[in-house]
Structure 1
């Protein structure tokens, strides 16, 4: 025994000495260091993630590198990017606020013979390569998830790492890998497999068994492209499997009727598919089940009562299915651990005993439709932090009911009533929840009052009337936390009130779609955090060029379309501005050159005003119009309700391609310049057509002259171009044929001439895109450029009916020419007596009349060929 103790002490002393020695000198293994340095040389590091990796330094001290305490061999490499955007992450779109590691993942990293874990998630790698045959016997953890642009053709290299226990390749493109199931089933130690959002298409639905490791506990395959029946092998996995996530795919069909070998299942997520049929009885026998999510499918039949036996169930979401029948307290008999219940079922009737007291205390409830009253058991849920009621109809008319209900909700952090017919007067209510969404309801009276606890308040499209001062002027406190205010699309009237000094935390304000009048109040100058202001579709007026908004230096979105604002376009816009929508007002003067100093501007919409002067030549100084990578991140508003983050993004109605559309998630990608329906004059400079990232350009209904510059061919992203109703001359430049994305074109009613460039997509547009240009010819116009109209002669072989038709047409033509001559003569004479503006307008009318007669002539002559 003594000898054993002595030996142990010697080993301990030796280990301590070795550890101390390693701390005193560079202990990094040279081979490991060489492999890591080679990896660094193969990547681009714009964010400086590898700035501590220096040759003269011990690699065990490099960021992300962890070495064994005794051997000093590299055992963990963790280089996940910290600069990701949580909003984009949720939507799987543009993940990053700042780029991290880009380039190539060289699998020679796995040649570090003691490496146990490799974590490179949230980077921007594009490829995987290997200079050696992957053959690791120690690696048990690999996470390459959320490398947005990474595409892997084959996973065969994974099968050569038998020690792997954890694999996460989520949100990497694997669509070319059709044999992925084979390569992961041969791994004898696999415990967790995460392949969410990988564009996988093949899942072998008819395969009866997949020979996964007996140790497999988690399989997550959500967000792929499995257009198939539910795979049979899923329900024949090992009894050790704890979690199955097949959500957000395109699975069809029904669940098996027989009990699968999944007795240990804790979480089953099948939501957002096309599954149908009834819920099989065996679900009620999964006694360890804590999470069961089947929402957004086509399940039908009676809602299963045996779910009420799952005493371990914590989360049950079944909303938006086709269940029928009655749901009562029997469906929840033993669910003592239930915390999250989601049951918005349009064909279900809720019939609860008014005296029933549930065995659970919910954190979150999502329910509907409820009618004609609220279930009484709801008032027993004193732990609720989130209450969502949809598609319901109940009365809160009685004063006692009204007070009881709103008093109950005052302790709930997140209150969301959407698309209901809740009849009740809010004007005497004080709301206290942190996040409040009361949209598309049928409330009566005026606005409620808000406590200082409210951070997010959304009450649009809910039939409210009265003044906004009732909401904003009641509080004299300076500690209000309100950041997001949306009371748009109601019947509110009166002025904008001058109580904004009490709400200095506001970052988003939307008062659009009401009947508000008056001017911008002085107290709005105190909203120093304001980033987004929507005042559209009201009766507001005044000169905003010198308004208090000039002190809102954080402003990024200003939307005042369809009001009666006047004066000049403001010059005080901050450089942070991204969207400037001033259309349909009474603005006058020139377009200020200060607009060119707004590098983030992506939407410039000043259509339907009285703007005059020239188009600024400096628009190409707006960086977002010429650089595709500029201004792609977006403003978002993130709020925490106590249980989850809620993310809201701006939206905007734009008139593009002649249609009004609401843009939300894609708004940040739009590049729009709309200067139409003003009094702009002068020529279009070549610089205007160097806006290579612009998608929509509308300069119609102005008085622009000169030719279309050949530089228009630089606008490679252009989808819509409208130059109609101007005084443009010259030929259509050949370079326009290179605009491959162009799908909407209007050059009508100008003075363009010559042949429409042939052999291009310009012939794919209808003749309406070119009418009103008397000297234009070539397809799609009926005028032939080579014959100059000679092809309109009759062949002499037409029958009598054709001669009669042509005679009638010529009679009408001569009559029209006579009317045209008389009109022109009167116009010339009248010009002597008319003022300058009337004279110009009258001549433009005559030009339009001439062009219309000419188009009528060509169209009818063409019909005789």
Structure 2
């Protein structure tokens, strides 16, 4: 071995020894989790329910710095971050009011023991499902709760916390915020969606104790009071304030904003209920950059001083009740990027100064009452414009046909366009969203327009006069909405990209077969299919297995015939099926039971026969409408398994037998807070804005058939052959608003329990065999607007009550009823009437009474006055008394 080889081996050996020594030093010096911090986290875990094992790694044998969601300092081993937000699957179609599935999220009690983590700077438990807050400290010597008004947990251990996010724990209820005031270093606070008990806590007083706060998010916290008596608010560092979607009812803007620093960069008060005029204190906020006051109840004019907000970049005053013109001073805000004033009552002409806003990217001023003419010069300087919205009935567009705008729009909304579409529209090669509504305008040549539409992702042409044939036109946008345009011809063709197809209220004709049954070489993405009132004919076809992505199908008011095809049962995601007012016959197919997610089934006004299927009880209905068909047999008891059902409409069929005695199991009808159920839904299309769809149901209420987007709790079993007594469980549905059992063969009495149905607005029991007295408890039904008990066998006196005595038509055909509003006098009232004195007897009695009264006064007067007059001692005593009283009064006056 030569010297060079020996030196190489020695070098490698020394390098290996160095690596081993470094590793051993590193292993020996590795920082472990602080024991105190570990105990604090284990104490926090005690009140937490963890259904999916999110914090299953939190156990003592494992170093807490390796626990899921926990981050420690690399040098000290102290816990610095807790990051455990819950990630839930967001379905693409969501019913309004429907909560996300949080079965995999942390729940139980959220303990404030985390405040004892002295070096904690970041905490995020957003979008979990905590139910309550536990204020008790881990240490026994510290305060054991806030019920006695003591500050929580405290010492100064929590001053390092900079970021706190508990948002979207929708069931979390807080009745105290004193603990927040101790987080003196806090810069970000988000309690959005958390229920703050406004009657129990002064939320503003708590947050004003945070001098370093930069962002405050309290949207959707059910706040109602803004505490205008608070005159001091130390929020000098605040940059973002979000109080959206609360319930403020103040007529004045919150006075504590007077003291906000000019450093604030964003105020968001959208979707509140603040009444009154726009606040006059905003000119103090000279450095404000984003001002959002949308979806409020603001009234009055937009003040000129908005033009003084020289750094303003975003102004959103949409969806209010603002009136008057747009102030010209807005044209002075050269920094303005977004100007959103739509959905108000603004009038006058558009100021020319708006054309000076060369940084403007969004200009949305539609759905107002503007007048005058819009020229191309109004938009000459808007080279950066991306979104443009303008519509008013009296507004006229007058642009040079050869004009080419300096901008390329992404979104455009036009309304009430007259004569023809602006030619510059076809120069917009970047356009993705197009809305044209209420316009008397030529879209010709149509081939040019349909070719232009292929570049769009979304277009909504509503209530226009397109008046063209769309047979075999290829529709390829994600959202195609063409309602009420007088379109003609047969079915168009659609590409795989189409998610929404709406063709309601047009003059199409022929079969739906070409649309559904043409050979498909692709997977359909169609989610919404709506072709109501379009003169379709022929059968429903049996090609539905090609469209398994469908969630909403509406084919109401057509001339469709034949049976409901079996293949419709292959739509496993189907939630809404409307086949009302066609000529469909046969029975409900057994395959429909596979549509487990079906919420509303409307088969009314057809010729469907057979028994109501018992397997319907296995689905998840909210509305079941089978009226005006040929259904027969008994009402299946399985219907009582539909606990979410709020509408049962079986009117005008051939049903017989008794009413099921298990209706009380339908829990949605027990509580008044579910008495109006929102059935609108939101569709989430990837890469696009959320789309809201009405999924209402037509209901016969108070004699009128109306389309409701808020379904009432209603039961209509009228015009059948039902018999027997009405089960007592029917009268236990205390959230019911409308009950119609008329035109049957029902019998028995109305129990006193009907008085507990305080939400009732309509009740019709006419043309049955009910008997007995009308219960006095019905006088408590104060919302009752329609009452019909006619043509039964009721007897006795009609109870008193304004809602019970409005018309005698409610009681005709009951010969044994008496009392108002009927003219028939009840027997006991007639007897008492006969025992009354005649008019002459009354006059004689009154004369005797007045004569006796006069004689009594005469005798009493002379008994006193005569004694004073004829008795000397009494006379002297009387006048002495008068003299003393005179002296006493004079002295008091002097």
Common fold by TM > 0.5: yes
1:675-728 CA-to-partner distances (Å, cap 9, x unmatched) read 101111111122333334433221111011122244445545444322121101
- 1:210 aligns with 258
Of the candidates 730, 741, 747, which is equivalent to residue 688 of structure 1?
Answer: 730
How far off its partner does 1:29 sit?
7.1
1:434-489 CA-to-partner distances (Å, cap 9, x unmatched) read 11111121222333222222111111112322322233233433522212110002
1:711-763 CA-to-partner distances (Å, cap 9, x unmatched) read 445545444322121101123345545556544432222112234455x6765
Q: Is the 8 A contact 1:81 1:121 kept in 2?
A: no
- 1:412 aligns with 456
Partner Cα separation in structure 2 for residue 16 and residue 268 of structure 1: 56
Of the candidates 553, 562, 569, which is equivalent to residue 605 of structure 2?
Answer: 562
- 2:31 aligns with 21
- 2:640 aligns with 596
SS in 1 for 2:208: helix
- 1:335 aligns with 382
Structure 1 residues 570 and 94, CA, compared in 2 at 3 Å: closer, same or farther? Answer: closer
1:257-305 CA-to-partner distances (Å, cap 9, x unmatched) read 3574422211111112233333333322322221111112233332233
Structure 1 residues 105 and 143, CA, compared in 2 at 3 Å: closer, same or farther? Answer: farther
Q: Which is greater in Rg? A: 2
Structure 1 residues 108 and 338, CA, compared in 2 at 3 Å: closer, same or farther? Answer: farther
- 1:644 aligns with 689
Structure 1 residues 16 and 653, CA, compared in 2 at 3 Å: closer, same or farther? Answer: farther
Partner Cα separation in structure 2 for residue 459 and residue 653 of structure 1: 19
Say whether residues 1:280 and 2:301 are aligned partners.
no
Q: Is the 8 A contact 1:449 1:474 kept in 2?
A: no
Say whether residues 1:116 and 2:162 are aligned partners.
yes
- 1:383 aligns with 430
Q: Is the 8 A contact 1:674 1:699 kept in 2?
A: yes
Partner Cα separation in structure 2 for residue 687 and residue 90 of structure 1: 30
- 2:703 aligns with 658
Of the candidates 132, 147, 156, which is equivalent to residue 205 of structure 2?
Answer: 156
How far off its partner does 1:604 sit?
1.4
Partner Cα separation in structure 2 for residue 570 and residue 593 of structure 1: 10
Say whether residues 1:775 and 2:816 are aligned partners.
yes
How far off its partner does 1:193 sit?
1.3
Say whether residues 1:484 and 2:531 are aligned partners.
no
Structure 1 residues 741 and 342, CA, compared in 2 at 3 Å: closer, same or farther? Answer: same
Partner Cα separation in structure 2 for residue 602 and residue 209 of structure 1: 45
How far off its partner does 1:204 sit?
4.9
Of the candidates 452, 455, 462, which is equivalent to residue 499 of structure 2?
Answer: 455
How far off its partner does 1:585 sit?
1.4
- 2:629 aligns with 585
How far off its partner does 1:192 sit?
1.4
Say whether residues 1:294 and 2:323 are aligned partners.
no
Of the candidates 555, 559, 567, which is equivalent to residue 511 of structure 1?
Answer: 555
Say whether residues 1:102 and 2:131 are aligned partners.
yes
- Aligned length, in residue pairs: 771
- 2:619 aligns with 575
How far off its partner does 1:651 sit?
1.0
1:347-386 CA-to-partner distances (Å, cap 9, x unmatched) read 2211222222222221111112223222222122122221
Q: Is the 8 A contact 2:408 2:429 kept in 1?
A: yes
Q: Is the 8 A contact 1:508 1:532 kept in 2?
A: yes
- 1:804 aligns with none
Note the 1:704-723 alignment, pairs <5 A.
704-713=746-755, 715-723=757-765
Larger deviation: 203-212 or 215-224?
203-212
Note the 1:350-499 alignment, pairs <5 A.
350-396=397-443, 401-499=445-543
- TM-score w.r.t. structure 1 length? 0.80
How far off its partner does 1:325 sit?
2.0
Note the 1:29-428 alignment, pairs <5 A.
70=75, 97-98=101-102, 100-104=129-133, 106=135, 108=152, 112-123=158-169, 124-129=171-176, 134-148=181-195, 150-151=197-198, 152-179=201-228, 182-184=231-233, 186-202=234-250, 204=252, 210-239=258-287, 241-257=288-304, 260-396=307-443, 401-428=445-472
SS in 2 for 1:745: strand
SS in 2 for 1:405: helix
Partner Cα separation in structure 2 for residue 334 and residue 297 of structure 1: 26
TM-align CA RMSD: 3.8
- TM-score w.r.t. structure 2 length? 0.78
- 1:805 aligns with none
Structure 1 residues 633 and 227, CA, compared in 2 at 3 Å: closer, same or farther? Answer: closer
1:107-149 CA-to-partner distances (Å, cap 9, x unmatched) read 8378623222221111223333267693332112111112256
SS in 2 for 1:421: coil
Partner Cα separation in structure 2 for residue 83 and residue 734 of structure 1: 52
Q: Is the 8 A contact 2:634 2:656 kept in 1?
A: yes
Partner Cα separation in structure 1 for residue 610 and residue 383 of structure 2: 65
How far off its partner does 1:61 sit?
7.0
How far off its partner does 1:67 sit?
5.6
Structure 1 residues 47 and 523, CA, compared in 2 at 3 Å: closer, same or farther? Answer: closer
Q: Is the 8 A contact 1:322 1:347 kept in 2?
A: yes
Partner Cα separation in structure 1 for residue 757 and residue 282 of structure 2: 51
- 2:3 aligns with none
SS in 2 for 1:251: strand
Q: Is the 8 A contact 1:571 1:592 kept in 2?
A: yes
Partner Cα separation in structure 1 for residue 809 and residue 50 of structure 2: 52
Partner Cα separation in structure 2 for residue 322 and residue 65 of structure 1: 56
Structure 1 residues 256 and 705, CA, compared in 2 at 3 Å: closer, same or farther? Answer: closer
- 2:868 aligns with none
1:625-645 CA-to-partner distances (Å, cap 9, x unmatched) read 447799979683514163312
Structure 1 residues 392 and 131, CA, compared in 2 at 3 Å: closer, same or farther? Answer: closer
Q: Is the 8 A contact 2:680 2:692 kept in 1?
A: no
SS in 2 for 1:175: coil
Structure 1 residues 322 and 208, CA, compared in 2 at 3 Å: closer, same or farther? Answer: farther
Structure 1 residues 207 and 733, CA, compared in 2 at 3 Å: closer, same or farther? Answer: closer
Partner Cα separation in structure 1 for residue 378 and residue 458 of structure 2: 26
Structure 1 residues 781 and 21, CA, compared in 2 at 3 Å: closer, same or farther? Answer: farther
Larger deviation: 246-255 or 435-444?
246-255
How far off its partner does 1:164 sit?
1.4
How far off its partner does 1:558 sit?
1.4
Q: Is the 8 A contact 1:228 1:252 kept in 2?
A: yes
Structure 1 residues 130 and 382, CA, compared in 2 at 3 Å: closer, same or farther? Answer: closer
Larger deviation: 680-689 or 256-265?
256-265
Larger deviation: 343-352 or 54-63?
54-63
How far off its partner does 1:556 sit?
2.9
SS in 1 for 2:436: strand
Q: Is the 8 A contact 2:433 2:457 kept in 1?
A: yes
Of the candidates 653, 659, 662, which is equivalent to residue 609 of structure 1?
Answer: 653
Q: Is the 8 A contact 1:244 1:267 kept in 2?
A: yes
How far off its partner does 1:225 sit?
2.8
How far off its partner does 1:568 sit?
2.3
Structure 1 residues 322 and 624, CA, compared in 2 at 3 Å: closer, same or farther? Answer: closer
How far off its partner does 1:509 sit?
1.1
Partner Cα separation in structure 2 for residue 419 and residue 445 of structure 1: 18
